[in-house]
Every structure is written in C-alpha cells, then in structure tokens.
C-alpha cells in the first residue's frame, strides 16, 4: 500500500465500536424520517397504493439535507476522536524527520474521514432508494447525493484535520474547526451583505452593480451554495439563490449562470479543502525548532 498509515488508520477505526454506532445512529435517523412521513401521510395509502409523489418529493429533499447536515455535524467530533486516541502525537514527533511522512500522515487522516463518509452513504442506500421510489425522483439523484456527501466530507474533513494538527489541545482544535466552518457558512454571507450595504449607502447604483460581482464571488466560497443547487434540482425551486441575487442586484437570469455558478462553488470548495490540507502538511514540515521554541515561549 502506498500509504501505510491509511491502512493502520482503517484497521484502528474498524476495530473500534465508534464506527458501528455511527452507522446505526445515522441510518436510524434517516429511517425515522421515512416512518414519520408515512405516518403523517397515511391518507395517501387509503386507496390502494396510491400516494402523492409531490409530498414525498420533500421527503427525499429532507433526507438529502439531513444527510449533509449529519456529515457536517459528525465530522468535527469524529476527527477529534481520531486525533486524541492512541499516542498519535508521540508517533508524529518520532517520525516527522522522515521525508514525506507529514504528507502521508495528513492524507491518511483525510482518507479515513472520507472512507467513513462513504461507508455511511453506502449503508444509507436502502433508505435512500425507498425515498427515491416514493418521491418519484430519478435514481441518478442518489449518485449525485453521493458526490455531494463526498464533497462535504472532503471540505469539512480538510478543515478539521488542519485545525486539530495546528492546535495540540483537542478543545482548541475543535474550537478552531468550528470557527472556520462558521466563517465559511455565515461569514461569507455576512461579509457580502456588509459589502453590499456599504456600496449601497456610499456610492449609489453603479457601486452596487460592481459590489454584486464581489458578493457573488464571496458567496461562491460558501459550500452551502452547492447544496442549494443540488436541492433546487430535486424540487425544481431555485428561490433561495434567486432571492439572494435580487437582493444584491445580480442578474442571474442567464442560462450560463446556473451552469457555471454552482460548478464554480464546487470547484472553490475543493480548492479550499486542498489548501487546508497543504497548510496542514506545511505546518508539520516547518522547522520544528521554531515550533518547539513557540511551545516554549507559550509556556513561559
């Protein structure tokens, strides 16, 4: 195997109770949603097996959104558990002098995180298929949801790996992880709103038009944009992005917008993930004399 650490990580994770509990909990939540939908729409079954797909379309919408939400919620805690166990710190200090070890270490962590996310997705396929059948959604949406989950697990996992590597303390790593996630989820929106408001107040219509481009660029770094595009594709309702664009004065009526904007957001998310992984490797590789000196300075 090219990365010996990834195999060791997978063996360690597979032999712990945490993975099994995660799969059970994950699928239990999804199954509960299906059951609740059936309970609250029993009248649909009164005339044979007739049911209203339009109602169930939102079931798939909710299940997809919850899956992404669970991944985003699950990953910081999962990565915290991965980093604090079992003498990782000592192993890292012992082998960091070997060239290439830092890269393998970081890649093993993100590889494990994405493998767990893939396993959760695969385990949820029966539930997803059922929701797909009831809602009348095309089966290709399941494939797209898989890609969406991999995207979010890569994005969130990269940030979490960076945060826990840069902060030796688990609490601080978790805090940094949450902070960075909040920055991208809400900070980009708040910042674009701030830019739009300043432009509108200070310089009039021309400035608003220019600031709309900047705002859209900022928002493209928000990973929820990809989710919005995916969910809009299921429901056929693009009102969220339409409302935002009209608020900041951006013309999104062109066909190219739908094609490029969400793709751009996806690409931005992948690049951000790669950037955080690169920074994590760089942090491990930087002159450890300086790092140990910083640790000494912090304790003085």
Find the shortest distance in angstroms from Cβ 158 to another protein: 23
Find the shortest distance in angstroms from Cβ 208 to another protein: 53
Distances in Å between the Cα of 146 and the Cα atoms of 96, 181, 205 are 35, 21, 42
Here the tokens at position 51 are: 């049911």
By the criterion CB under 8 A, which residues form the site for another protein? 1, 4-5, 7-8, 11-12, 15-16, 86-87, 90-91, 93-95, 97-99, 101, 104, 288-289, 291-293, 296, 299-300
Closest to another protein by CB, 271 vs 295, is 295
Query: 15: burial class by Cβ within 10 Å (0-12, 13-18, 19+)?
Result: exposed
Cα distance between residue 216 and residue 195, in whole Å: 11
Find the shortest distance in angstroms from Cβ 289 to another protein: 4
Cα distance between residue 53 and residue 62, in whole Å: 14
Phi, then psi, of 203 in degrees rounded to 5: -125, 5
Cα distance between residue 212 and residue 207, in whole Å: 9
Find the shortest distance in angstroms from Cβ 20 to another protein: 14
Closest to another protein by CB, 90 vs 206, is 90
Find the shortest distance in angstroms from Cβ 85 to another protein: 9
Query: 40: burial class by Cβ within 10 Å (0-12, 13-18, 19+)?
Result: exposed
Q: Residue 153: how many CB atoms within 10 A of its CB?
A: 27
Closest to another protein by CB, 1 vs 39, is 1
Closest to another protein by CB, 202 vs 299, is 299
Kindly give the interhelix angle for 188-202 and 239-248, rounded to the nearest 10 degrees.
30
Closest to another protein by CB, 255 vs 289, is 289
Closest to another protein by CB, 83 vs 101, is 101
Find the shortest distance in angstroms from Cβ 86 to another protein: 6
């Amino acid at each position: 195997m090219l990365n010996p650490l990834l195999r060791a990580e997978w063996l360690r994770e597979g032999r712990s109770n945490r993975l099994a509990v995660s799969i059970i909990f994950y699928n239990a939540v999804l199954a509960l949603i299906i059951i609740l939908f059936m309970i609250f729409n029993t009248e649909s079954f009164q005339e044979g097996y007739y049911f209203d797909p339009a109602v169930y379309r939102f079931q798939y919408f909710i299940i997809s959104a919850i899956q992404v939400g669970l991944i985003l919620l699950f990953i910081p805690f999962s990565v915290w558990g991965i980093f604090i166990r079992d003498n990782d710190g000592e192993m890292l200090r012992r082998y960091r002098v070997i060239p290439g070890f830092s890269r393998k270490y970081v890649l093993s962590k993100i590889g494990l995180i994405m493998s767990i996310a893939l396993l959760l997705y695969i385990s949820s396929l029966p539930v997803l298929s059922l929701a797909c059948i009831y809602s009348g959604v095309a089966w290709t949406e399941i494939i797209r949801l898989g890609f969406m989950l991999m995207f979010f697990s890569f994005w969130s996992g990269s940030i979490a790996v960076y945060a826990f590597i840069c902060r030796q303390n688990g609490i601080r790593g978790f805090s940094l992880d949450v902070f960075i996630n909040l920055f991208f989820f809400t900070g980009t929106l708040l910042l674009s709103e701030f830019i739009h408001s300043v432009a509108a107040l200070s310089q009039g219509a021309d400035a608003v038009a220019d600031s709309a481009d900047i705002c859209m660029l900022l928002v493209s770094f928000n990973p929820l944009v990809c989710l919005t595009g995916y969910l809009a594709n299921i429901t056929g309702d693009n009102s969220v992005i339409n409302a935002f664009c009209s608020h900041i004065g951006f013309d999104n009526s062109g066909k190219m917008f739908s094609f490029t904007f969400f793709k751009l957001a996806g690409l931005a998310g992948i690049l951000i993930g790669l950037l955080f992984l690169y920074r994590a490797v760089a942090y491990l590789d930087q002159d450890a004399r300086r790092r140990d000196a910083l640790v000494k300075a912090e304790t003085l």
